[in-house]
Each structure stands twice: as structure tokens, then as C-alpha cells.
Amino acid sequence: MIQFKKSELDNGIRVLSEQHPNSRAISMGIRVLTGTRDEAPNEAGISHLLEHLVFKGTKTRSAYQIARSLEALGGDLNAYTTREYTCYHALVLKDHWQKALDVLCDLITNMQISTKDFNLEKGVILQEIAMTDDNPEEMIYDLLFEKAYAGNPVSAPILGTIKSVSTTSQKKVSDYYKSRYTGKNVIVSVAGDIEHQVFLD
């Protein structure tokens, strides 16, 4: 039976690993424990907006360099936002796990937002919201949460609303990033042919 191992770093980051000796690939993710449930009513969708902006560039990589960093190695890099957390994840051949970890860590610690990218991504998300409004399946799902959890932040749609996204400022996103993307809110997980201590080192 495969068992996972767990450690906690001095900065509060929790690390989970599950070793699969016969696997040629390494799957890893960084979950930041912030999502819809952590948003104020007037900032609904800010977690999802932040997830988009993270991929627009860091202090050390451009958006293109982020996209190509693992694709060039045959790997995959992506992210998604839920009501409870935001996840950045990668899948690579086991020889490239250090590169994947470096890119993921860069994404969540060195985000750099330009006004141009901020306005561009707000526009993209407003289009996503409009598309959701035209999709009965998506609408029903959001309505279910709205009614079942009325009065609770988790009742808001993950994408936010036209009003909340339109009025969100760049400073508000930056402040949210600084307050939520902290060690105690981060869980790093890895699965594949790698020993727990090797990954920690």
C-alpha cells in the first residue's frame, strides 16, 4: 500500500509526497488555500482573476517564458480556482521535476502585474462570465451554490460577477495576493518516483 509523507517547513508551508518507484512522470501541485470562500462580496472573483494574472509574468519570467518553460520539455503547466483553494500544477518527466518546482514556486512568489495585463485579463474574465450566463449547465451550478449557501461567501460564483470584476482595482488584487499567498496557506504536493527527503532538499 502506497503511503504519503508529510512535512512542515519553518515558514508554514506543508509538503506532501507519495512515492511511485515505477513512474516515469512526476506530478506536482501548489495549492494556495484561498478561493471564493475567502472573498468579500465586493471582491467576488478576485481569486480567479489573480490566478489568471500569475501567468502574465513574474520578476524573472515573461508570460512567454512561463508558457514555454515546461512545454519545451514535453511537460504541462496549468491552474484552476475553486471555492476553497487555487491550484497551480505541473506534469513532467521525472528528470525535470526540479525545473517544474522552480517554475511553480516562481509563479506564486514573484508575480508582477502590469496595468496593461491587468486590464486585459479583466476583459477576458468578463467575457467568461458572459459565456457562463449563456450556458444553462454552468448557470444551474452557480444558482445551486447561491441558494444552498445564501449569506456565505462560498455562494458567490468562482468567476465573480460583472460588477465585482469590473470594479476590482489593481491595488486590491495586489493586496489580496500579499495577504493570502503566504506560507501558512500553501500546500506543495508531489507524486512520482521521488523520495520525500530528496524533494525537501
Residue 43, SS3 per DSSP: helix
Q: How far apart are CA 25 and CA 95, in angstroms?
A: 8
Q: How far apart are CA 81 and CA 49, in angstroms?
A: 9
Cα dihedral sign, 106-108-110-112: positive
121 is catalytic: no
* Residue 145 · residue 151 · CB < 8 Å: no
Q: What's 91-144 look like in SS3?
A: EEEHHHHHHHHHHHHHHHHCECCCHHHHHHHHHHHHHHHHHHHCCHHHHHHHHH
Q: Grid cell 508554514 — which residue? A: 12
Residue 36 DSSP one-character state: G
Instruction: Choose, from 8, 39, 43, 51, the residue flagged as catalytic.
Output: 51
Give 130's Cβ-side CA count (13 Å radius): 7
Q: Which residues are catalytic?
A: 51
